Each structure stands twice: as structure tokens, then as C-alpha cells.
Structure 1
Amino acid sequence: MSAEPHGQRIVAAARGWIGTPYRHQGSRKGVGCDCLGLVRGVWTEITGSVTQDPGAYAPDWAERAGAERLLLAARLHCGDPVGLSEVMAGDIVLFRWRDGVSAKHAGILSGPDHFIHAYEPVGVIESALVPSWWRRIAAVHRIPQTS
């Protein structure tokens, strides 16, 4: 996993969110965010544009919805997923808790074996990407470079 300048900028932006408390549906650095709010906030910092508003969502939305809303939104904003052999620091990683349920958690890769995510109840942290996380990866997407 290389750390290209674009990916380094994304990781630096994501690390700036570390310590932000966990707040369901939040997206404000230092105030509160959930995993989606973290990714949306970093996206805005890096691209200068705001992603679509996901609207209200319950904590158990993925278990009830059946639709791959997170994967569809990632594809809309980032294009096709990146293969696991091509991941780089700065990539968005999406997780599903178990087979048969929609992808529900998101983070940003900070290195070959770490990622930054908003995790209830501790807030935004950098965690080891241990095997139990790797096997839950549903997709990896790359934030496009802007000119």
C-alpha cells in the first residue's frame, strides 16, 4: 500500500477528526459524528464539495432496509470500487457486519493495517485493521482528486 500525496492529504484530514465524540447522524469535527459523518466531513475538506445529504436514518437502518445504500452512495461519488490488492492510504473502506445484511460501517484507511473511523461509544479513533475487520470489508473506494 503506497501513500501517494492525495492519500496523505486524506489521512491527515481524517486524523484531524480523531477525538471527535460519537454522535449518530453528526458530521461536525470536534463536535460529533458517526462513521458516515466522518467520511462526509473528510470528503468536504478534501474536495471542497458537499456530498448529498443522506437524510434521517435510524441506528439499525441497514438491518431493516435491505438496500445497499452505503455502497450505492460510494459508487455514485467515487466510481467503481478498488480491488483489495490495490488499496492505498486515504481510501474509504466500507464494512458489513455479516453476510446477508447491507454494508453499514465506514472508515478511511490510514496505512496498510490501520483505519480511522467513528466508533460508538468512543468516537473517532484510529484502529488496527485486524483480520476480523478485513473479513468484513464490503468495498473500498477512492476519493477522486480534484484539480
Structure 2
Amino acid sequence: MSVVVTVARGWIGTPYVHQASTHGAGCDCLGLVRGVWREVFGREPEPVPAYTPDWSEPEGDERLWRAALRHLTAKRIAEEAEGDLLLFRMRRGAVAKHLGLQAETGPAPTFIHAYSGHGVIESALTPPWERRIVARFAFPERT
């Protein structure tokens, strides 16, 4: 099993708190990824500025996608692996701004994410979620 998945599963049950990234206390989807990064790789690769729930939408700016490209390796969406970062577009025409971590692949795929009203959970990667995936990334190799 991927170390990213093992660490992310340790965050399950963490409450949803916008802009937070504290294991057990609160995080949003980006905060979950930031926290997993810190546990697996150490210091975060760049500071994250404050952001609002509608960040990037007025400008149509794919900030999250660009940030992922700076630190992760882009993959084909169909090239599934445990521990991949998934980027979702929640509405047609909107910027992509929800993140999850692929936990299981195969006939019953799952992903771990922080979701408003639910906190950090592991969800089935059902067709409605799969349709929203716009990018897939691999984390760097651990040294």
C-alpha cells in the first residue's frame, strides 16, 4: 500500500475546516493534501496564500492545477495508482478546485478527501465523481 494512502487514512474523521491543515483538528481538501505532504515529505514546497471558498472562480484561473504541476508529476487520468492526487472540476465551466487522494484502484476504487459537511472521508470513486476528474498527479519519490 502507498505511504500516501496510509497517512491519508490516518486523517479520516478530521473535521472540515476551511483553510486549515491540522491532523485531527480540521482541514479542507487542500489542507488534507498539505498535511499528508508534511507527514510524508517534510516541509511544504511553497506557502499557500489565504483563499476564499470561491477563489479563482471570478478570473477563471486554474491556480490549483498550476500549483500541482509545479510539485507533482502529471499523469494520464486512466493511469490509476494508489496515492495519486486527483483534481476535480465540481461544475461544468468552473475552475478545478477539489482534491482527493486515490486510495483503492480496481473494481471498487475509492478516494480520500475533505468534504464540507463531512470532514475527511474515504468515498467510493463512483461514476459521478469519476466524471469530475480533470487531472491526475503522482507524488515525487521519497528520498
Q: TM class, shorter-chain normalised?
A: over 0.9
Contact 2:14 2:27 in 1 (8 A): yes
The structure with more helix, counted as a fraction of residues: 1
Matched, 1:47 2:41: yes
CA drift of 1:45 comes to: 1.1
CA drift of 1:98 comes to: 2.3
Number of the residue aligned with 1:142: 138
1:138 aligns to what SS in structure 2? strand
Number of the residue aligned with 1:11: 5
Number of the residue aligned with 1:126: 122
% of aligned pairs identical?
A: 51
Number of the residue aligned with 2:88: 95
2:122 aligns to what SS in structure 1? strand
* 1:28-43 pair list within 5 angstroms: 28-43=22-37
Gaps of 5+ in 2: none
Instruction: Report the TM-score when normalising by structure 2.
Output: 0.93
Matched, 1:104 2:97: yes
Q: Partners in 2 of 1:62 and 1:100 — Cα distance? A: 12
* 1:26-63: CA deviation from partner (whole Å, max 9, x where unpaired): 00000100000000111111112213222111111142
* 1:109-143: CA deviation from partner (whole Å, max 9, x where unpaired): 00111000000111000000000000000101011
Contact 2:100 2:113 in 1 (8 A): yes
CA drift of 1:84 comes to: 2.0
Q: Partners in 1 of 2:20 and 2:81 — Cα distance? A: 26
Instruction: Report the TM-score when normalising by structure 1.
Output: 0.91
Amino acid at match of 2:58: R
Contact 1:62 1:103 in 2 (8 A): no
